[in-house]
Structure 1
Amino acid sequence: MISWLMLAQAIALGAIGAVVAIAGIMRRPFGDWVLGAAALTFLTLVVQVVASIIAPIAGAGPTGDLLEYWTYLITAVVIPPAAVLWALIDKKGEWSTLVVGIGILACAVMVYRMHQIWFVQVA
């Protein structure tokens, strides 16, 4: 895991998630911009997967539990598509935008926790 990448990703996802969640609380309808925010979240997580595969090969492995790290990462990758699926099923509902916003915020928290597992914990 690249430290600056995690920091940029956590800040960006936190800001994007907050904007989408606030729009959901204000009952803004689900639209292309929410779908784009979820797609951007998914794209950053795919970049994190690639970086997490390359880092141990390059000699920068984790100090924490690798299984716990990958469990967090795979779960985070699944959250945006699941939130969008929920929102598309309930597109005319009041809370579809909020569901996607909370999913993006959850990904931001999970990315920060993955950073803790990778760098802070001592096995």
Structure 2
Amino acid sequence: MISWLMLAQAIALAVIGAAVAIVGLARKPFNDWVFAGAAIALLSLVVQTIASVIAPLLGAGPTGDLLEYWTYLITALLIPPAAVLWALVDKKGEWSTLVVGVGILACAVMVYRMHQIWFVQVA
């Protein structure tokens, strides 16, 4: 696993999530920019998934629990589409944009935790 990639991803997701959450707190409706933020979050998680499959094959496996890592990763992959689905169903609602922002922030926290599982813990 690439340490700088995971940390850069966590920071980028935190910035995107915070920006979308601020837009949501301003009660702006769900729009293409919010959707783009969620799409970028999902794309970065797909890249992370590909890297997570390749790294153990090259001998760079996690030092922590592999099941816990994959549970975090799969859950993080489900959050952006679920948040966007919520926002599309509740498009005229006041909180749909905030839900997407909080979902992206949750992904940032999960990526940081995945970094801890992969690099810090000793099995």
Equivalent runs, 1:1-123 vs 2, <5 Å: 1-123=1-123
- Compute the TM-score of the two structures, normalised by the length of structure 1: 0.99
How many angstroms apart in 2 are the aligned matches of 1:7 and 1:116?
10
Q: Which amino acid aligns with 2:116?
A: Q
Q: Which amino acid aligns with 2:38?
A: A
**Number of aligned positions between the proteins:** 123
How many angstroms apart in 1 are the aligned matches of 2:113 and 2:36?
24
Percent of paired sites with the same residue? 80
How many angstroms apart in 1 are the aligned matches of 2:120 and 2:5?
16
SS in 1 for 2:53: helix
Shift of 1:17: 0.3
- Over aligned residues, Cα RMSD in angstroms? 0.4
Shift of 1:34: 0.4
Q: 5+ residue gaps in structure 1? A: none
Q: 5+ residue gaps in structure 2? A: none
- Compute the TM-score of the two structures, normalised by the length of structure 2: 0.99
4+ residue segments displaced more than 3 Å:
none
Shift of 1:104: 0.2
